[in-house]
Structure 1
Amino acid sequence: MLLSSKKDLAMPTIVSLVASLPYFQRPFTKTSVLAIPEIATASNEENLKKARTCWMEGMHLVNEVSSHTRTHAQILALKQLKFEECFQFMKKLRQIHEQVEGEAQRLRMEVSLFSNRN
């Protein structure tokens, strides 16, 4: 492009700018936005795949937590049953102890009465 005067050099006009565009364009420069449907579909599929992967990882973690919780609940239930069995056993032992104590008290009284007679 040839500049005709110093005025063109100082302040370019729209006409001079438009005329200079071919000099600034390069064949390897791409300035368009990707609007090809296949690329958009591929991008959507990639996003869907990423979302699906994240969702599956999340479900895997939920399953792990659920399995761990279920196992923990079963262990607690077994411990609760064992505790109940031990508690019932201790109640029976206490009843037996009270019976034995009552019998021992009765026997001591008989012994003391028998020794007082003699």
Structure 2
Amino acid sequence: MSLASSIPSFLYPFTTTSFSNKPTLGNMNDEEGMDKSWTHILEGLHWMNEVSLRNKARATDITARGMEFDKPSDCIAKLRSIYSVLEREKIELM
């Protein structure tokens, strides 16, 4: 798998990025053309870095929230209450 083929799957579903102002490269010996090309490349890298930082922040936030575990007895009590509600709804549907 190449880097180019993995980028769309990395961005989805969190972010979609598009560049509408693609530069006309023209003659690569032209200094202005080279400057436009480098500017376009650096803008792309900036946006990829922005996406990466946002995804890293989301992952850190999700991980931090996931580390707050309930006591096993609390989890069992919640499961029992959910089960009893489902059992009552099942009986009402019959």
TM bucket, shorter chain: 0.3 to 0.5
Q: TM-score, normalised by structure 1?
A: 0.37
Which is higher, the Rg of structure 1 or of structure 2? 1
